[in-house]
Structure 1
Amino acid sequence: MFVSDSVAGRRPRIRTRTEASILHADLDSFYASVEQRDQPWLRGKPVIVGGGVVLAASYEAKAFGIRTPMNIGQVLRLCPHAVLVPPRMSAYAAASKAVLAVFHDTTPIVEPISIDEAFLDVGGLRRIRGAPIDIARTLRAEVARSVGLPISVGIAGTKFLAKVASAVAKPDGLRLVEPGAELEFLHPLPVERLWGVGKVTAATLHANGITRIGQLAELGEPHLRAILGPAAARHLFALASARDPRRVETGKRRRSIGAQRALGRRHREPDELAAYLDGLTDRLGRRLRAADRVCRTVILRLRFDDFTRATRSHTLAEATDATAALRHAARLLLDTAQPLITERGITLIGLALTNLDDADTMQLTLPLQPRADNTLDATLDDLRRRFGSTAVTRAALLDKGAGLSVPLLPD
């Protein structure tokens, strides 16, 4: 149940729920947990999933300070007895699909966030499934029984609080934030728990003596504006006051797609980086067309040798799903960033496509002909669909491999 308000002609907004009925379910150290499930001898050991860098670490490894995306050399200095395991993306995709099926068996209102977490609205299920906390207990037990993985669940009246509660409950825990106790739960937590507080914002808040969410709430929005600016102040003060009107939404399509490749720390020539970028472009173009989407903006993501990051973006004149157009934009961005890469080194290159739209809503251009379906892109997509993603590749990538392809939620 919830109380709502609305403006004529607009969708009602949730203002206050009378019970904590939003669940945030989050698998614990997902990749590492799948490896420990499938290889029992790994249980209780510090497991690292990755190659040159850490993709996931078990809680036993995290106890040594190991985090993503550390390089393996640093990992072995922190934990010499860590067990390194190569990633198995197909196994993680299968596990994610099985867990998502449990979510949908629990409630029809499921909003997946990534392959290992989702929001669930169980507000209308009390008569058939019991109280939200009972539903959460059943869900955790079913994931453990049918999929064999630990999962943490937070329960609250808003999505933000439910997500914070699941993080506090980790590992393999359950946390309920009762209505009326939201601020008591939230205010003692560090400001880093607020969505939108990264390293830079946290450093700014700490410099002003604000380390806890309660301190931020006490300061008030007007004083926060002077520190963070109006938009950030409004957003963070609302969260610190436990205000979050967003619904759990089903059927949402992703707003962007991306892929990346870890490169290690050795020097990379410009031609090698360009080849890797072309491979990422091919992969994303295929995903875009498979989902019947087009994009307007191409974003290049870089991680340097000191593990700082940078992004560069280019917005196209018109939306497209053509690999050639995407590759041209990506190459322009890489050329622009090359002096910075030469100066600072590079450990990861990534590409993202944003400003997505449905392909059938594209505005036709003169002479108003329908989109061709016999293009080179379509032929290559068909070959890769029939014979595997590595059936056709660029010559520049023959001795470099395609890199890891991280499992994605269905679009």
Structure 2
Amino acid sequence: MALNIMHVDMDAFYAAVEQQDNPALKGKPVIVGGLSNRGVVSTASYEARKYGVHSAMPIVEAKRLCPEGVFLPGRHDRYAEVSRQIFEIFYHYTPLVEKLSIDEAFLDLTGCSRLFGDPIQIGKKIKEELYNKLGLTASIGLARNKFLAKLASDLDKPDGFFILEEKDIDRILEPLDISKVWGVGKKTEELLKSKGIDTIGRLKSLSLDELEMLLGKNGIQLYYLSRGIDNRKVEVNNQVKSISHEETFAENRVDKNLILASLLRMSIKVSRRLRKAGLQGSTIEIKVRYGDFTTYNRSVSLAVGTNKTDIIYEKAIYLLEKNRLLGKPIRLLGVGVSNLSPEGAQQLSLFENNIKMDKLDKTIDLLRDRFGESSVMRARNLDDFKSR
């Protein structure tokens, strides 16, 4: 079968962008994530990974392992900007792009050879463009389907290009740990390994009936994946489903004014990202995690979509108060908007006040783009700013 499916995964993306934007950071262990000891690592550069630092690790543990590391809070607007440039490169070669995340995608290269050469040539060109235009490297896997392409990119990191040909599938797959198979989460992995099934080869030795009896529908999927069979198409309409922002506080917060100030700051960030993406949403969501790690997610639906800061903020307050979520020490707070649609698909109101609100939001966006996030601040945010 033709090797037309490509998986591209940018290497240590957030950290790599920071190193590219600030050459003084190149070669240094860069760790992007929350700066407080209660935060977690978003991305660690390969220099930091040598110390054992990895994504989702608590910052306090990362500091213990890598005390000389450069710890940065992250610049998500900048990462989104670079991501758009990355995907422009992908779309130059094929319209069949499935976005998995800000720095990862599947590409279907079927029918592209006449214009750009065979898939191997296209892969080399993509790597060259990413490096020459953006100064970034990527790990690429090329295979006959999505599962194998993703597996291939994982086998040659960083800055690799692994071509998984038909004749090599069994030789490469069979020794791999079962955790490499899509659909094998922590519980499934523990169950299989408790029965001595620790490699893809051993998984492949089980019959379809045995796997279905053991794991249900998931067992059927694993039966085929262990044989390198994956019929899923590259999904080109894989659009953003929600935009959100959440923060873990340096210290648990119970003061209502500080909590509402944080809520406003998050609402500003979410609404700004919506406007930058040309989107609006009709569901407002909040997430509250207390000091004992009890977590609540609550949402409210609007009649029509919005990307207005004040409306998102007001509905978030409504959710906090209606569900009586204030009064206990809060460890983490988040705000999100979902059920997205293109901006302008619906109009919340054409009254003069809302037109003024829209103009004000967009003017503030321009000022922050030019002078930085802290250049324009609402009065309620002052206490929050001082407490950070």
User: Shared fold (TM-score greater than 0.5)?
Assistant: yes
Give distance in 1, aligned partners of 2:289 and 2:339: 23
Cα pair distance change 1:227/1:304, threshold 3 Å:
farther
1:175 deviates by 0.9
Contact 1:217 1:241 survives alignment (8 Å): yes
Paired residues, number: 375
Query: SS at the partner of 1:138?
Result: helix
Q: Is the contact between residue 46 and residue 61 of structure 1 (CA under 8 Å) also seen in structure 2? A: yes
1:273 Cα offset (Å): 3.3
Residues 32, 357 of structure 1: CA spacing in aligned structure 2 closer, same or farther, 3 A cutoff?
A: closer
2:13 corresponds, among 13, 26, 30, to 30
User: For the residues of structure 2 that align with 1:217 and 1:26, how far apart are their CA atoms?
Assistant: 27
Q: More deviation in 169-178 or 277-286?
A: 277-286
In the aligned structure 2, how far is the partner of 1:124 from the partner of 1:133? Answer: 14
Residues 225-240 of structure 1 aligned to structure 2 (within 5 Å): 225=212, 227-230=214-217, 232-240=218-226
Q: Which moved more, 1:48-57 or 1:24-33?
A: 48-57
Q: Residue by residue, what CA displacement relative to the aligned partner does 1:351-406 show, whole Å, maximum 9, x if unpaired?
A: 333333456666xxxxxx984264164244233234336666543322434999xx
Match of 1:3 in 2: none
1 CA distance for matches of 2:262 and 2:42? 19
- Going from structure 1 to structure 2, the CA distance change for 1:137 and 1:386 (only over 3 Å counts) comes to closer
> Does residue 1:119 correspond to 2:116, yes or no?
no
2:305 touches 2:341 (CA, 8 Å); kept in 1?
A: no
Q: Is 1:178–2:165 an aligned residue pair?
A: yes
Looking at structure 2, the residues matched to 89 and 270 of structure 1 have their Cα atoms a distance apart, in angstroms, of 28
Judge which range, 331-340 or 281-290, deviates more.
331-340
Segments of 5+ residues of structure 2 without an aligned counterpart are: none
Q: Distance in 1 between matches of 2:129 and 2:351?
A: 45
Q: Answer yes or no: is 1:190 the counterpart of 2:177.
A: yes
Per mean C-alpha deviation after superposition, the further-off stretch among 152-161 and 125-134 is 125-134
Letter in 1 for 2:363: L
1:351 equivalent in alignment to 2:335: yes
1:258–1:352 contact (8 Å) kept in structure 2: yes
Instruction: State which of 365, 382, 385 in structure 2 corresponds to 1:398.
Output: 382
TM-score, length-scaled by structure 1 = 0.75
Q: CA deviation at 1:145?
A: 2.2
Residue 81, structure 1, aligned to residue 64, structure 2: no
For structure 1, the 5+ residue unaligned runs are 1-17, 363-368, 405-411
CA contact (8 A) 2:143 2:164 kept: yes
Please state how far the C-alpha of 1:61 moved relative to its aligned partner. 1.0
Percent identity between the aligned chains?
Answer: 35
Query: What residue in structure 1 maps to residue 305 of structure 2?
Result: 320
Q: Distance in 2 between the 1:23 and 1:199 partners?
A: 27
Q: What CA distance in whole angstroms lies between the structure 1 residues aligned with 2:386 and 2:142? A: 40
Kept in 2, the 8 Å contact 1:299–1:353? The answer is yes
Task: Please tell me whether the aligned partners of residues 274 and 334 of structure 1 are also in contact (alpha carbons under 8 angstroms).
Answer: no
Q: Which amino acid in 1 is paired with 2:15?
A: A
**Cα deviation digits, residues 213-256 of structure 1 (max 9, x gap):** 344444455444555454x4444444434343333344543222
Matched, 1:387 2:367: yes
- Partner Cα distance (1:33, 1:39) in 2: 10
Alignment check: 8 A CA contact 1:299 1:311 kept: no
For 1:157, the aligned partner's letter is: R
Task: Quote the residue 2:150 is aligned against.
Answer: 163
Displacement of 1:152 in angstroms is: 0.7
Q: Which residue of 1 aligns with 2:252?
A: 267
Q: How has the CA–CA distance of structure 1 residues 403 and 196 changed in structure 2, closer, same or farther, with 3 Å as cutoff?
A: farther
1:72 to 59, 66, 71: 59
Per-residue deviation, 1:173 = 0.7
| Greater mean alpha carbon deviation, residues 106-115 or residues 313-322 | 313-322
Aligned partners of 2:315, 2:220: CA distance in 1, in Å?
35
Q: CA–CA distance in 2 between the matches of 1:395 and 1:206? A: 56
SS at match of 1:169: coil
Query: Counterpart of 1:26 in 2: which secondary structure?
Result: strand
| One-letter amino acid matched to 2:350 | A
Question: Is 1:44 aligned to 2:27, yes or no?
Answer: yes
Aligned counterparts, 1:83-122, within 5 A? 83-89=70-76, 91-122=78-109
The change in CA–CA distance for 1:216 and 1:67 in structure 2 (over 3 A counts) is same
CA contact (8 A) 2:89 2:129 kept: yes
Which of 255, 258, 265 is the matching residue for 2:244?
A: 258
Q: 1:378 aligns with which of 358, 377, 386?
A: 358
User: What does the per-residue CA deviation read over 1:23-77, in whole Å, with 9 as the maximum and x for residues that have no partner?
Assistant: 1111101122223334444333322234234332111211222123334332221
- What is the deviation of 1:159? 2.1
State the alpha-carbon separation in 1 of the partners of residues 70 and 375 from structure 2: 32
Return closer, same or farther for 1:319/1:341 CA change in 2, 3 Å cut-off: farther
- Deviation of 1:153 after TM superposition, in Å, equals 0.5
Task: Identify the residue that residue 265 of structure 2 maps to in structure 1.
Answer: 279
SS in 1 for 2:384: coil
1:81 counterpart SS class: coil
